[in-house]
Amino acid sequence: MSKIIFSGVQPTGNLHLGNYLGAIKNFVELNNDKENQCIFCVVDLHAITVKQDKDELKNNIRETAATFIASGIDTSKSIIFNQSEVHAHAEGSWILSCMAPMGWLNRMTQFKEKAGKDKEKASVGLYIYPILMASDILLYDATHVPVGEDQKQHLELTRDIAQKFNKDFNCENFLKVPEPLIKKKFSRIMSLKDGLKKMSKSDPSDLSRINLTDSKDEILNKIKKAKTDSYPIPNEEIKLKDRPEAQNLLGIYSSISNQTLDETLNEFGGKNFSDLKVQLAEILSNKISPITKEIKKLTNDKEYLDKILLEGASKAEEIAGQKIKEMKKIIGF
């Protein structure tokens, strides 16, 4: 049976190596499999759960779409669109929010992290963000959802919500329960400055991440300054225990060069981090620079990007519009 793949990325600027290795690189592999129907969404409604600048948001929507295409997603095969263009997402989100108990949402760790200490001031949107995500996925009968490790809990919630809807309305299998596609290894790329913190676009230090728009010199400089420890690189994975920075750099190297951690340890075991860093910076530049160049070229062609997004939205609308119609009928509207 062919797979229906759905995933989303927020247009909040600064797409980085974590987004690429944790998500977008997998999108491209899935896109390349002829059997798959892939739908990739620029989730702009999710982005406004925190304050956005109007003009920046518009640019970031185009830049995220450009990043998908520059990374290798083929728009003649996969659908790329932005969420706010397809009404069913917000409508589905409301319906599902009436099914999901608050207790389920109260467990979401990302909300706790993002809301911080003063959660009374966080937007209600940020709180129900995972329900909109469930709506995104369930409207397309997605069978598989490729994401980084940080989205695992949101996907479990999506599965629970689908099952509850089917049970509450006695419509077995109406909402398809999706499978997460999370790489077992390297699905969580950490900050270059702190191996215990996730690489993130919201980290105030730009040295903590490699942005997909960084120049070769910036990549070189950031890798040079990346935190390591003072021991040599070991030969075995077990010896990486309690060495988060070492684990992270070796993981990034393995992931970007499509090899296992064991192969990387064979290559670098006994050497110093300076050796690894030289090669890591080189391979990162070689892989990322063509993407960066293509992103720049595409973002200069706003008309082209807007056309891709519009065509994508029209295809998405056909699928999601039909599903929401059926959903409303089931409810009794």
Which one of ligand AMP, ligand TRP, none is in contact with 251 (Cβ closer than 5 to 8 A by kind)?
none
| C-beta closer to ligand TRP: residue 10 or 211 | 10
Could you say which DSSP state residue 188 is in?
A: S
According to DSSP H, which parts of 215-301 are helical? 216-225, 244-256, 261-268, 273-299
Determine the Cα–Cα distance for residues 38 and 122; give it in Å rounded to an integer. 33
What pairs with residue 6 in β-bridges? 39
Q: Which of 164, 176, 201, 287 is catalytic?
A: 201
Half-sphere exposure in the Cβ direction for 211 (13 Å, CA): 19
Count of other CB atoms within 10 angstroms of residue 2:
10
Among 42, 147, 212, 246, indicate the residue that binds ligand TRP (CB under 6 A).
Answer: 147
Interacting positions 23-62 with ligand TRP (CB under 6 A): 43, 46
- Asked if 23 interacts with ligand AMP (CB under 6 A), we say yes
Contact 10, 47 (CB under 8 A): yes
Q: Which of 58, 114, 193, 216 is catalytic?
A: 114
Q: Mark the segment that binds ligand TRP (CB under 6 A) among 62-70, 129-137, 230-238, 296-304.
A: 129-137
Closest to 8 in 3D by CA, of 109, 79, 104: 79
Contacts of residue 102, defined as CB under 8 A and 6 or more positions apart, other chains included, come to: none
Among 89, 198, 222, 323, indicate the residue that binds ligand AMP (CB under 6 A).
Answer: 198
Is 114 in the active site?
yes
Is 193 in the active site?
no
Q: Which residues are marked as active site?
A: 114, 198, 201
Task: By CB under 6 A, name the binding residues for ligand AMP.
Answer: 9-10, 18-19, 22-23, 147-148, 150-151, 187-189, 198-199
The residue ranges that bind ligand TRP (CB under 6 A) are 6-8, 10, 43, 46, 133, 136-137, 145, 147, 151, 154
